[in-house]
């Protein structure tokens, strides 16, 4: 049995029991890829896994929440003694 959970502001999610998922796994994977919907697999009525379409590798910024940060100049080489004194 597949149940559909849909409420305002959400993406449509279907839930399926683990035993049924096991029997129909490949067909369900094709369905999720085609529809873009999320499938929640339950065991004893409790969610245990989600199956959602693959969205490709995400390239994230090495600066986390600061994607616009750029490094200017050489940050690897040691600072010269005279520059170090000027900074203190």
Kind and range of the H or E element at 49? Answer: strand 46-51
Residue extents of the structural domains in the chain: 1-54
d(CA 48, CA 11): 18
User: Residue 70 pLDDT more than 70?
Assistant: yes
Is the domain defined by 1-54 classed in CATH 2.30.30.30? no
Q: Nearest 5°: CA angle at 15, between 9 and 19? A: 170
Between 61 and 36, whose confidence is greater? Answer: 36
The per-residue pLDDT for range 8-52, each reduced to its tens digit, is 555 567 899 999 999 999 999 999 999 999 999 999 999 999 999
Tell me what pLDDT residue 69 has. 73
In the structure encoding, which two tokens stand for residue 16, read together? 């399926």
């Amino acid at each position: 049995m597949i149940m559909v959970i849909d409420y305002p502001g959400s993406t449509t999610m279907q839930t399926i029991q683990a035993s049924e998922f096991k029997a129909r796994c490949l067909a369900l994977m094709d369905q999720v890829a085609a529809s873009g919907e999320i499938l929640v697999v339950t065991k004893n009525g409790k969610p245990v896994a989600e199956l959602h379409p693959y969205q490709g590798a995400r390239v994230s910024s090495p600066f986390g929440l600061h994607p616009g940060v750029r490094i200017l100049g050489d940050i690897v080489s040691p600072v010269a003694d005279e520059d170090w004194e000027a900074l203190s």
